[in-house]
Structure 1
Amino acid sequence: MAKVELYTTAWCPFCIRAKRLLDSKSVSYEDTDVDRDPAQRQVMQQRGGAHTVPQIFINEHPIGGCDELYALERAGELDVLLGASE
């Protein structure tokens, strides 16, 4: 299975939707709350170049946010990235 990392906030509806999709696929992920650890927001921005949450990384590759995650799912590419097709 792929290494999945999310940078989120507890109150963000897009973060909740992204986690819900990953949970529905039984994907484990590392969730970093950038409100609880503001230094991690800088790390997130350096890694992915964006300042909005969620920021999602699969195997160190920046995917983008919730919209991009769902677009991958609709295109049938998310399972491949997650290694579910292996």
Structure 2
Amino acid sequence: MANIKVYSAPWCVYCKMVKAFLEENKIQYREVDIEKDDKAREEMVAKTGSLSIPVTDIDGEIIIGFDKPAIKKALNLK
């Protein structure tokens, strides 16, 4: 099982889309609210060089935004 972390914020529509996609495919993930967790926000910026969200970290593969094809590829979904 992949180790998945989704960096998000409650107001972010694309973050909700990423989480819904993962849930529809019964994929477990850990959500990190970058507005509440300063350390996680800093970690995300260190990985991406950006404050853009959502950021999905799938076993170290970083996907910025709701890029369904990239997420499917990283998870080996058809």
- TM-score scaled to structure 2, two decimals? 0.85
Runs (5+) with no aligned partner, structure 2: none
Over the matched positions of the two proteins, sequence identity in percent amounts to 24
CA RMSD in angstroms comes to: 1.8
Structure with greater helix percent? 1
Q: CA contact under 8 A between 2:52 and 2:64: conserved in structure 1?
A: no
> Which runs of 4 or more aligned residues in structure 1 lie more than 3 Å from their structure 2 counterparts after TM superposition?
none
Runs (5+) with no aligned partner, structure 1: none
CA–CA distance in 2 between the matches of 1:82 and 1:9? 23
**Structure 1 residue corresponding to 2:75, chosen from 79, 82, 85:** 82
Pairwise CA distance, 1:5 = 0.8
Q: Which has the larger radius of gyration?
A: 1
Aligned length: 78
- TM-score scaled to structure 1, two decimals? 0.78
